[in-house]
């Protein structure tokens, strides 16, 4: 790995640790944490008091592909995943969450997940 790539990863980890000092999920308001790879977005709703993951989704799943459509871009799939995540959270009785962007900038696919969850009715 090049020096620039390792510095980028270390910077993201530092941002993530700063965010996690302030953001914690509770039973009433769980944490929506997002992780990004080159091709996919991984999101899960976590209750930090019990240490349990309540909902998990990835953009490569069949559910998300069916909701986004065949010719969807990565950003479109991310938004569809956010909407699907919001619907599943509503079914579990979750109406408010805390958004953990994982040290990534609030831009592009990360923003699309958040907007999709908000469109489905989640508050954060």
What's the CATH code of the domain at 43? 3.30.420.100
Report residues of the chain scoring pLDDT below 50: none
Please provide the distance, in angstroms rounded to a whole number, between the alpha carbons at the two ends of the chain. 37
Token pair 């065949």 is at which residue?
70
Q: In what order do the strands lie in the sheet with 98-100?
A: 52-58, 41-47, 31-36, 98-100
What pTM was estimated for this model as a whole? 0.89
Residue 82's pLDDT is 97
Domain housing 48: 3-119
In-domain check, residue 43? yes
Residue 74's pLDDT is 96
How many domains does one find in the chain? 1
Residue 80's pLDDT is 97
């Amino acid at each position: 790995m090049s020096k620039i790539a390792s510095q980028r990863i270390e910077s993201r980890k530092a941002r993530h640790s700063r965010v996690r000092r302030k953001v914690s999920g509770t039973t009433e308001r769980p944490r929506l944490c997002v992780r990004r790879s080159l091709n996919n977005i991984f999101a899960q709703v976590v209750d930090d008091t019990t240490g349990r993951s309540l909902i998990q989704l990835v953009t490569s799943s069949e559910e998300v592909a069916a909701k986004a459509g065949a010719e969807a871009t990565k950003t479109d799939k991310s938004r569809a995943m956010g909407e699907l995540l919001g619907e599943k959270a509503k079914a579990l009785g979750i109406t408010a969450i805390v958004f953990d962007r994982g040290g990534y900038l609030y831009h592009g696919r990360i923003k699309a997940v958040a907007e999709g969850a908000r469109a489905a009715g989640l508050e954060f």
